[in-house]
Amino acid sequence: MGFLFLYGGVAVKALFATILAPMAPLPNQIGNSIPEIPHPDPKAMAGNGFVLPNIKRASIVDRNGQPLALSLPIVQVYANPMEIIEPEDVAKKLRTILPNLNIEETVRRLKQKKQFVYIARNIAPTDELAINNLGIPGLYFENGEQRHYPLGNVAAQILGSVDIDNHGIAGVEKFFNQRLLEDHTPLRLSIDARVQAAIRDELNDAKTRFRAIGASAILMDVHTGEILAMVSLPDYDANNFAHAADDARFNRAVTGMYEPGSTFKLQTAAMALQLGVAHPWDQFSTIPIHVGRFTISDLKTDHFAPWLALPSVMAYSSNPASAHIALDVGRQRQHDWLKNMGFLDRVPVELPEAGRPLVPSLKNWGETTVMTVGFGHGVAESPLAIVRGTACTGNGGYLVTPTLLARDHLNDDVVMAEEQKGPHLISAENSSLLRRILRLVVTKGIGKKAESPGYLVGGKTGTAEKIGAHGGYLKHVNITAFTGMFPMNDPKYALYVMLDAPQGTAETHGWTTAGWIAAPTFSRIVTRTAPMLGLFPLEPAKAQQIDEQLALSLSPPVPPGVHRPLGPGNDPGAATVNRLAAKHGAHHAR
């Protein structure tokens, strides 16, 4: 009776413990094998990331909260072969859950005289539960995470990637590696995923149509330096970084260095105006300049007057005239200007791949260099450097620092403090004049195909012969670019578009110059993305009224009181040109 009473008590206790009122398992009993069910963070900003338990690396989102990179919980399956009784049977059972499992290889591993071997990596939590339900002794699970890029190719070179240990190895992932591991709140970039995708689409269409080997585009806020889009083609699926081609990984926007061509004439004009060397009414010679076996001239199809006023030099993009302007500025002042504008150093941006420009040393910065740099040859700059310089000419003269981080504005009308704007290199008056000149390039100059009705765009074309592998220029192989801003009465955004080695079509009459290729691409991008940025085309009457206010004559009259404007008979650079021509045995006709 005593034993019956004791066994009865144990049976009743077991009944309660296993069926009627079982105890919940302790956290340490299942915490390492079964992940917690994900739940959203109620305090997070809408769309700013999905908070997952046991995730060590923070998400990356765009300026609107769209996830660009996030870590998903995954599980690794490992085994202790010393505890496995029938390796063949275990492998067959696992194959029913993991169809990609190699049975022969798995059996080989399970027969090793080890206490730890991996069976499968990165399996889903549902597969983990199914394997756990097999009840096979010797199989264990290890929690982990896998980086995922939900938008695929969009912003791939910006985001970069992580290695197998979840450490950043490229792009933003590498630059902000510690921040992403230590702070689990989403990292908010300045990139607008909608704009990024739209620009990529338009640029890829142009690259395909003109059979270019590469292309790049950058859209930047001229006041804050925020980069809303940075596209480099070809690109790759960010989820497949390890198998991407080197050319696809190459970020042409910050790593690629290209001769800027005539886009650099904007800096030459800004420099001359700000230093008081030139004025809108001053005229400059367009006659070809001969230095040894080299000749600085314009295209054979260009039929310019022998002398052009500064606005016409920009509108028609004359190389000899730009060389004369640079000579008037001089070697030291030109070098100092480019240094102050950041063209002699790496552009500061949150990408480890950002490269340094290719520029001559000051001791090799001779008079020939002064002339060639004046129209964008003899130096190689990144597209980001060009668009940064463009923004400075139109935002009132402040050199902003480009950034891939979103600024936390309280409202859209926030006014930046002076110290946040960067150095003030161009006066407000000259900045206003440069905006009118850039608008003139589009309305009456060679940039007409960049026009986007209602958006008052302005900018500068740039065509440069590409440098070959052995250092020489490749004839008829061009880098074509267009750099500009919109709207020119009050610029909000700077945009740079570049195509690498495009080929002419019937549409371009065989030409591969920027006016035929980069300019219309610029126009399409503005028309498509401006509404996404909250800008809408002006009514024709309103646009015409503003255009009349921005209007500038191609040959402004000399103001009263100016006794000797630059021009025929008063050209400071003429003596230098003639001396160089005589030194190299050439005759320069005046």
Can you tell me the distance from the alpha carbon of 195 to that of 201, in angstroms, rounded to the nearest whole number? Answer: 10
Can you tell me the distance from the alpha carbon of 90 to that of 490, in angstroms, rounded to the nearest whole number? Answer: 71
C-alpha count within 13 angstroms, C-beta hemisphere, residue 11: 6
Lookup result for tokens 């045995």: 585
Buried b (16+ CB within 10 A) or exposed e, 550-583: bebebeeebeeeeeebbbeeebebbebbeebbee
Q: Token pair for residue 349?
A: 């941006």
DSSP string, 92-111: HHHHHH-TT--HHHHHHHHT
Q: How long a stretch of residues is the chain?
A: 590
Torsion sign, CA atoms 230, 234, 236, 241:
negative
Q: From start to end of 420-490, where are the E strands?
A: 458-467, 473-486
Burial of 230 (0-12, 13-18, 19+ CB in 10 A): buried
The secondary structure element, H or E, covering residue 271 is helix 265-274
CA 533 to chain centre: 17
Nearest to 353 by CA among 156, 74, 583, 145: 156
Residue 481: count other Cβ atoms within 10 Å of its Cβ: 33
Residues contacting residue 154 through CB under 8 Å, at least 6 positions apart: 68, 193, 196, 197, 200
Can you tell me the distance from the alpha carbon of 20 to that of 15, in angstroms, rounded to the nearest whole number? Answer: 6
Concerning whether 262 is annotated as a catalytic residue, the answer is yes
**What is the chain's alpha carbon radius of gyration, rounded to the nearest angstrom?**
32
Can you tell me the distance from the alpha carbon of 446 to that of 514, in angstroms, rounded to the nearest whole number? Answer: 9
Are residues 160 and 168 in contact, defined by beta-carbon separation less than 8 angstroms? Answer: yes
**170 φ, ψ to 5°?**
-165, 160
Nearest to 388 by CA among 338, 448, 457, 313: 338
The secondary structure element, H or E, covering residue 169 is strand 168-170
Residue 330: count other Cβ atoms within 10 Å of its Cβ: 17
DSSP string, 524-548: HHHHHHGGGGT--PPPHHHHHHHHH
The secondary structure element, H or E, covering residue 69 is strand 67-79
Q: Token pair for residue 164?
A: 């197998």
Q: How far apart are the first and last CA of the chain?
A: 131
Across the chain, how many H-helices and E-strands are there? 21, 16
The residue from 232, 262, 382, 431 that is catalytic is: 262
Q: From start to end of 94-166, where are the E strands?
A: 117-123, 139-148, 161-162
Supply the residues annotated as catalytic: 262
